[in-house]
């Protein structure tokens, strides 16, 4: 699978750090399950007006977290017929890897477009 990376839009060091944090806040879900959506969402809402890059990254992160939450829910339901257990494992490993890839791309000043993501919030305002 080929990763899709958007070119940077005047990214500076501070913006790169802030956008990387937005991606990594998804890991707050390990502390409390709903925080994988809540932490990046609150961070994005707080900082989106200060940086165009953060607004773009924030939309992508929220879309990704919401989409994968739906996929995890479907896999959980499919545990009734046992296939869900395999899907949950694949989804969990993929989720961790994709968040790390997104954070590293943000650190380079690039917008990583997560695969299999439903666009609840449009990528560009």
Going from N- to C-terminal start, the domains of the chain cover: 7-112
* Per-residue pLDDT, 68: 95
* Per-residue pLDDT, 29: 87
At residue 5, the 3 state secondary structure works out as: strand
The vertex-44 CA angle with 111 and 105, nearest 5°, equals 20
Instruction: Give residue 6's pLDDT band: very low, low, confident or very high (50, 70, 90).
Output: low
Report pLDDT digits (tens) over 59-113: 999 999 999 999 999 999 999 999 989 999 999 999 999 999 999 999 998 989 9
For 80, the token pair is 């009734």
* Per-residue pLDDT, 11: 53
Report pLDDT digits (tens) over 18-59: 899 999 999 998 888 899 999 999 999 998 888 888 899 999
pLDDT score of 2 more than 50: no
Q: How many CB atoms lie within 10 A of CB 63?
A: 19
Instruction: Give residue 7's pLDDT band: very low, low, confident or very high (50, 70, 90).
Output: low
Distance separating alpha carbons of residues 21 and 16, to the nearest angstrom: 9
């Amino acid at each position: 699978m080929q990763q899709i990376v958007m070119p940077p839009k005047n990214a500076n060091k501070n913006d790169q750090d802030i956008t990387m944090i937005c991606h990594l806040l998804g890991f707050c879900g390990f502390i409390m399950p709903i925080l994988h959506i809540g932490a990046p969402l609150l961070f994005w809402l707080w900082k989106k007006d200060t940086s165009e890059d953060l607004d773009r990254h924030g939309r992508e992160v929220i879309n990704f977290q919401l989409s994968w939450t739906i996929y995890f829910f479907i896999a959980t339901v499919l545990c009734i017929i046992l296939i869900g257990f395999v899907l949950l494992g694949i989804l969990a490993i993929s989720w961790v890897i994709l968040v790390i890839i997104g954070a590293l791309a943000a650190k380079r000043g690039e917008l990583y477009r997560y695969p299999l993501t439903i666009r609840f919030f449009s990528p560009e305002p």
